[in-house]
């Protein structure tokens, strides 16, 4: 049987394999939150022979203003940051949806189609679209709830 150790301070502590794996997942998440989202990175695609700069997920007000963000006078910085954080969590939550669920969200919220228009496109009843929409929203709410955002999203 292998022995697993984690370093706490200057000491090595023997732990189970399960605790070892969870500890390093937690450490990786901590590094992601403290370092990875704060710096941009370069993505190289050797096949397409392209190099793309991917900016950090953490934004500054100056960068947002350079990109054309318009901050109203009465808008508080905390609100702006909360909105940005909510959008980042929403982007992560969207990856948890299957392709059909993502297409439904895209149609209703990004393409501004009505429920009836989506139903007509998919050749199903609008009631079926409403039920699917509710299921997807419930799934997204659950994801937000797991991040401690239960007060942001309305229940219903």
Q: Higher pLDDT residue, 47 or 36?
A: 47
| E strand residue ranges, the chain | 4-8, 11-15, 41-45, 50-54
Residue 64: exposure state from Cβ atoms within 10 A (0-12, 13-18, ≥19): middle
Tokens 């370092």: give the residue.
Answer: 35
Secondary structure (H, E, C), 58-95: CCCHHHHHHCCCCCCCCCCHHHHHHHHHHHHHHHHHHC
Residue 42: strand pairing partners: 53
Residue 52: strand pairing partners: 43
Statement: residue 131 has pLDDT above 90: yes
pLDDT in tens, 44-96: 888 888 888 776 666 666 666 777 777 665 556 677 777 777 777 788 888 88
pTM of the model as a whole: 0.46
CATH class of 75-156: mainly alpha
pLDDT in tens, 2-28: 688 888 888 888 888 888 888 888 877
Both structure tokens of 132: 């699917």
67 neighbors 117 (Cβ within 8 angstroms) = no
């Amino acid at each position: 049987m292998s022995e697993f150790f984690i370093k706490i301070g200057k000491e090595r502590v023997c732990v189970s394999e399960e605790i070892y794996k969870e500890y390093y997942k937690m450490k990786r998440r901590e590094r992601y939150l403290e370092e990875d989202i704060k710096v941009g990175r370069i993505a190289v695609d050797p096949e397409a022979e392209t190099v793309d700069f991917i900016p950090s997920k953490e934004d500054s007000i100056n960068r947002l203003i350079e990109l054309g963000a318009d901050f109203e006078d009465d808008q508080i910085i905390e609100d702006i940051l909360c909105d940005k954080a909510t959008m980042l969590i929403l982007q992560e939550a969207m990856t948890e949806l299957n392709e059909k669920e993502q297409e439904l969200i895209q149609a209703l919220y990004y393409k501004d189609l009505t429920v009836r228009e989506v139903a007509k496109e998919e050749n199903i009843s609008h009631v079926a679209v409403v039920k699917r929409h509710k299921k997807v929203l419930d799934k997204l709410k659950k994801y937000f709830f797991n991040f401690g955002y239960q007060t942001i999203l309305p229940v219903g």
